[in-house]
Amino acid sequence: MKFDKNSQGYKDYLSKAKLDKKKVFLYQVLILVVFIALWEILGNLHIINTFLFSKPSDIYNLLIKYTATGQLFKHIGVSCYETIVGLFFGTGFGILISIMLWWSKKISQILDPYLVVLNALPKTALAPIIIVWVGAGVKGIVVTAVAISIVVTILSAYNYFSSVDEEKIKMLQSFGASKFQILTKLILPANISNLINLTKINIGMAWVGVIVAEFLVSRYGIGYLIVYGSQVFKLDLVMMGVIVLAICAWAMYEVLNIIEKMYLKRR
């Protein structure tokens, strides 16, 4: 039976899917608007302590002030640069090491217990040690971001590579395919979507590393804004930093979503 994209049933299905998508977006916006409005009302009525929780209007005014002076863009630029570099190296090196583990079962067996231990360690607690070893500044912050994301990348990517259907691998081997050909023609193409999803997870991991490191040593960045605001008890500044952080992380996530959609469309 031939599938007809011009049929009325298919057009109705597409219309319904678009309508459902719009409804979901509307509900998401509505929840956000209600939350902000409720927060503002409770703050104005002094039901919540604005010294501790601030309120949207105060945060907005502070955001305008920092934007007008250009300070906010400098802090955002520093943190985004550190996060992108940490994400790139953490994900890249993690995938390369996982390929090495897939390539050699002996190496994977030797390193398996060490990777499990490293994954179990609270890596944010190691940030001070990493910064002492590597040095303060951007280099130490980037290495912290890499350290937090790389182990998760190795374990997850290796699991993806090992989960590829053995029958397909045997079929390629029966045709005389080399290990490199199996890797490039089967293993990696079969896991592109998984690797993109893994990168999405690593966005959050990289941001955690950057913010924690900025808490400790940085004089610029979103993490510095948050910790400085808490030190001087300016909760408006803390909340502004958290909101800006959420927007930056969401923007990076959406960029990867667009890349994934483009890949799936081509595929």
Q: What is the mean pLDDT of residues 93-114?
A: 89
58 vs 64: CA distance, rounded Å? 10
pLDDT score for 2: 53
Determine the Cα–Cα distance for residues 221 and 75; give it in Å rounded to an integer. Answer: 4
* Stretch 68-84: mean pLDDT: 90
Strand (E) or helix (H) holding 9? helix 8-44
What 8-state DSSP symbol labels residue 2? -
Residues 258-267: contacts with CB within 8 Å, 24+ apart?
Answer: 259/196, 260/193, 260/196, 260/197, 263/192, 263/193, 263/196, 264/193
Look up the pTM and report it: 0.83
How much is the pLDDT for 4? 58
Confidence of residue 140 (pLDDT cuts 50, 70, 90): confident
* Res. 3: pLDDT tops 60: no
Task: Report which of 230, 212, 233 is spatially closest to residue 221, judged by C-alpha positions.
Answer: 212
pLDDT band at residue 91 under the 50/70/90 scheme: very high
pLDDT at residue 6 is higher than 80: no
